[in-house]
Structure formats: C-alpha cells, structure tokens
Amino acid sequence: MGFFKSLSGRFLLLTILFVMLAEILIFVPSVARFRMTELQERLELAQLASLSVLATPDDMVAPELADELLDNAGVINIVLRRNEVRELIISKPMPAPVDETFDLRDASPMQLITDALRCLFAPDDRVIRIIGQPIKGAGLEIETVLYERPVKEAMRDYGLNILWLSALISIITAALLFFSVRGLLVRPITKVVDNMMSYRDDPADARRIIEPSSQIRELHEAEQALQDLQVALSQSLRQKARLAALGGAVARVSHDLRNILTTSQLLADRLEVSSDPVVARTAPKLLGALQRAVTLCESTLTFGKAEEPAPTFQKVVLRDIADEVLENDALRKTGDLVDFDRKVSPAITLVTDRDHLFRILTNLVRNARQAIEASKVAGTVTIRAEQIGEEIHIRVEDSGPGLPPRARDHLFRAFEGGARQGGTGLGLAISWELAHALGGTLELEATSQDGTCFLLVLPRKR
C-alpha cells in the first residue's frame, strides 16, 4: 500500500484511471456506431435480395428461392416500397411477434447510444424490425425483420476487443508515464531531500551544501534557493560559533576581573581610615569607581548567561504589578525629586509571565527615575495602561530630560546604549528581549527635553 502513497505510485494509479475513463468515453459511442453500421449492412443485404426478385417478370419468385434469398441476407422478411403504390414483400412465416422497431432514418446520436446499450442488456432471442432508406434511391423505404442475436454477438466481440485494447493502452501509457515521472520528478526530488537531510546532520560541513544540477527549471530554482539558504545558514552558524567563543572569553575576563576588583575593594576599604587626609578624602571616590566596575562585570556575566528561563504564562492583574514596581523603585529614591503615578484600571488583566513583566517595568521606571534625578529638576514617572482590542498598551512616561543622543542611536543594543554614569547599558536591551519573549513589543514612543515615553505592547492572551 505504501507504494501508492509515493509520487510515482499515485501517478501510475491516476494514469490508469484516466486512460480507462477516456476509453469508456470512446467505447460507448463506438459500440453504438458499430451497431448502426451492422444494421445498415443488413438493410443493404435485404435490398440486394429484393432486387433479384424485382428482376423477375412479375415480381414473383418461387417460395424456395425466396427462403434462400432471405437466409442469405440473414433476415426473416423484407418490405420494399418503390413508390406510393408498388410494394414488394418477400417473407417467411414470422417465428414470433416483433419485439421492437428501430427507424434508422432519423435516429439521433443519443438515441443510437441508448438503443445500443439497451441491446447489450436485452434478452438474447429478440426479434426486431428495422426501417431505413434504400441505397441509390432504389425506393422510398425498406423494412426488414430479423433476429437480434447475431448483431448482438458481433457487438459483444467488438466491445471486448476495444476493452482489451484500452487495457493494453492504459498499461503502456501508465508505464511510460511512471518511468518519466520517476526520472523527471521523483529522483531529483529525492536527491534534494537526501541533501537536506545530510546537511541537517552536519551544517558545518561545507561539502554538504547542494550543487544545483537539475535540468528542469523549477527544480533547478529550488536547488538554487536551497543552496543560497544553506550558504547563508552555514555562514551565520560559523559567525555564531565565533561570537560564542568571543562571549566565552569575555565572560572569563569579566569573571577574573571581578575577583581582582573585589580584592582591590577590600584593600581600598582600608584607605578610608588612612591618617593622610588627602588619601582619606579620595578613598570614597575610589571605592565608588571600584563598585561600578564590579557591577559592570557582574552584569556582563549575567547577560553572558543569555538564556533567560522560558516564560511561564499565567493570568495577572496589571495594576498589582505596576504598584509593586513603583513601591520597589520608591525605596531606591535619593532625595524627593521624583513622584510616581499610576493610571491603570484594576480591570486590566492579561496572560503573561509575571516575572518578565515585572522586570521590564522595573527597568523602564528605574531609567526614568534615574534620568529625573540626574537632571536635578523635580518630575513624575507615570505608568499608564489601556486595552486596545486584544492588546494591552502600557506606557512608562516621565517628565525628565529626554534620551541623550548616544542612548537614542543605540537604543535596545546591549552595552552600547548606556549613557548614564554607573549604568551598563543593558536594562533596555534585556527589556526588549523579554517583551519579545512574551509575544509583545517595546518601543520608544516619544522623547524630548519635556520627557520620554516608552510603549510596551503585550498580547492580552497567550
């Protein structure tokens, strides 16, 4: 059965079916036509027989001769109308009443087909009458009665011949098609599929990239596209491997650097209690700088781990999370420059990862607060949310100084966008990745000296 699921198997089956169908479409009309010719022939024979009677002086022949003429023509009686009055009849006693009469003069093709089919399925011993036009204008009408059986047998033989022939033709056609489809389609496709599988097993092996070789245009194009894809993929895999190696090196350096720095921190701690006033004064700055360096190393290490745990989706009430974020961030405030505000309806719920959403909002709120604090002008950070269709639009707005150009140019790019003293430039990059992992987007909606607005769009359902 598996064979008929293959492309060539399907083709074989369909070809046999279609050829058979075509043959049947030819078979029926040609059998009808055969019957028509056969009956016409009988009429002509009957007419010939009647002509020999006409040759006698008074249109009369001895009964034995009449019988012989009728037997020769294979009919039971003949009626030939020469003109309105002259009518010639030769006949034998009728063996049985006539079962059906067929007039060949004005039969439509459809009629002939039905008659032929009915004849094939009728009982064998019917007696039929046929009426036709005499040939060569030898009279007005000729009519003859005969047994249907010989006609029917001839039709059967003819039909069987056609059937055998069609079977043979369909087998030959199907076989030819089968082999050409195998050669033209199946084999090249198998080749491409084999190549895909071998490439999948080891994409790093450049020898496994396909060489387009098909002579058929469509397949050649497919091979070409596959080749392009494989070349690009192999390249990016190589690049990825290189970047991973680089990342590994950076992680190792960061790790060792952090250890060195913590040791230096311990040593620097002692400087604070130095009796030298200059040393004691610069010590806090040195400690601050060291702390920032340690933080940078630690963030690099965290980012290097890269694989965030996959989100676990659950239904959350947005307002609860917003409140928690703001309360947490308020604890880190220095001074009283920043006010927090939250405009979120308690009715807004969404199915998302609570922890991811918390981290995104924390990053955005912290950035906004830090910007305001750095500007030394009082301001507000607002979380605002609305539901639009199946999406939740969450805005984190502030009245701060706006994004510095460096941050704007490298927005959402790890390590590159940081323009803040002590920042690593990772917060926005991580938030962007988290938002995408949740099926959402994060973008900078507006920024100017009057403030900044980040827009986080999340799907309401998973």
Ligand X SMILES: Nc1ncnc2c1ncn2[C@@H]1O[C@H](COP(=O)(O)OP(=O)(O)OP(=O)(O)O)[C@@H](O)[C@H]1O
Cα-trace Rg, the chain: 49
- Within 10 angstroms of residue 40's Cβ, the number of other Cβ atoms is 15
Contact partner at residue 368 from Mg ion, ligand X, none, CB < 5 to 8 Å by partner kind: ligand X
> How far out from the chain centre does Cα 438 lie?
27
- Binds ligand X by CB under 6 A, chosen from 131, 420, 455, 459: 420
3-class DSSP string for 84-152: CCCEEEEECCCCCCCCEEEECCCCCHHHHHHHHHHHHHCCCCCEEEEEECCHHHCCCEEEEEEECHHHH
- What's the burial of 402, exposed, middle or buried (CB within 10 Å: 0-12/13-18/19+)? middle
8 Å CB contact between 280 and 273? yes
Contact partner at residue 425 from Mg ion, ligand X, none, CB < 5 to 8 Å by partner kind: ligand X
Contact partner at residue 379 from ligand X, Mg ion, none, CB < 5 to 8 Å by partner kind: none
For position 423 contacting ligand X by CB under 6 A, the verdict is yes
Q: How many residues bind ligand X (CB under 6 A)?
A: 23
Contact partner at residue 404 from Mg ion, ligand X, none, CB < 5 to 8 Å by partner kind: ligand X
Least CB distance to Mg ion at residue 441 (A): 19
Least CB distance to Mg ion at residue 247 (A): 21
- Binds ligand X by CB under 6 A, chosen from 326, 418, 435, 440: 418
With CB under 6 A as the contact rule, which of the stretches 172-180, 188-196, 249-257, 420-428 interacts with ligand X? 420-428
Q: Which two tokens stand for residue 143?
A: 């009519």
| Closer residue to Mg ion, CB minimum distance, 116 or 368 | 368
Least CB distance to ligand X at residue 363 (A): 6
How much of the chain is in helix, strand and coil states, percent to nearest 5?
60, 15, 25
For position 379 contacting ligand X by CB under 6 A, the verdict is no
Least CB distance to ligand X at residue 358 (A): 15
For position 417 contacting ligand X by CB under 6 A, the verdict is yes
| Closer residue to Mg ion, CB minimum distance, 34 or 454 | 454
Which 418-437 residues touch Mg ion, going by CB under 5 A? Answer: 427
**Look-up of token digits 């409140």:** 323
Specify the length of the chain in residues: 462
Site string for Mg ion, 161-190 (x = CB under 5 A): ------------------------------
For position 322 contacting ligand X by CB under 6 A, the verdict is no
CA distance 247 to 266: 28
Which 273-302 residues touch ligand X, going by CB under 6 A? Answer: 299
| Closer residue to Mg ion, CB minimum distance, 132 or 427 | 427
Least CB distance to Mg ion at residue 364 (A): 8
Contact partner at residue 426 from ligand X, Mg ion, none, CB < 5 to 8 Å by partner kind: ligand X
For position 367 contacting Mg ion by CB under 5 A, the verdict is yes
Which 380-399 residues touch ligand X, going by CB under 6 A? Answer: 398
CA distance 41 to 29: 18
Name residues whose C-beta falls within 8 Å of residue 62's C-beta, 6 or more positions apart in sequence.
Answer: none
In degrees, rounded to 5, the angle at the alpha carbon of residue 425 between the alpha carbons of residues 420 and 426 is 145
8 Å CB contact between 452 and 400? yes
| Closer residue to Mg ion, CB minimum distance, 47 or 367 | 367
8 Å CB contact between 141 and 113? no
| Closer residue to Mg ion, CB minimum distance, 95 or 422 | 422
8 Å CB contact between 352 and 311? yes
- Binds ligand X by CB under 6 A, chosen from 53, 424, 434, 435: 424
CA distance 195 to 210: 6
With CB under 6 A as the contact rule, which of the stretches 8-16, 94-102, 156-164, 423-431 interacts with ligand X? 423-431
| Closer residue to ligand X, CB minimum distance, 394 or 403 | 403
For position 426 contacting ligand X by CB under 6 A, the verdict is yes
For position 425 contacting ligand X by CB under 6 A, the verdict is yes
Contact partner at residue 407 from ligand X, Mg ion, none, CB < 5 to 8 Å by partner kind: ligand X
> How far out from the chain centre does Cα 19 lie?
30
> How far out from the chain centre does Cα 122 lie?
53
Looking at the DSSP assignment, which residues form a beta bridge with residue 382?
341, 397
Q: Which residues bind ligand X (CB under 6 A)?
A: 299, 363, 367-368, 371, 398, 400, 402-404, 407, 417-420, 423-429, 452
Q: Which residues bind Mg ion (CB under 5 A)?
A: 367, 427
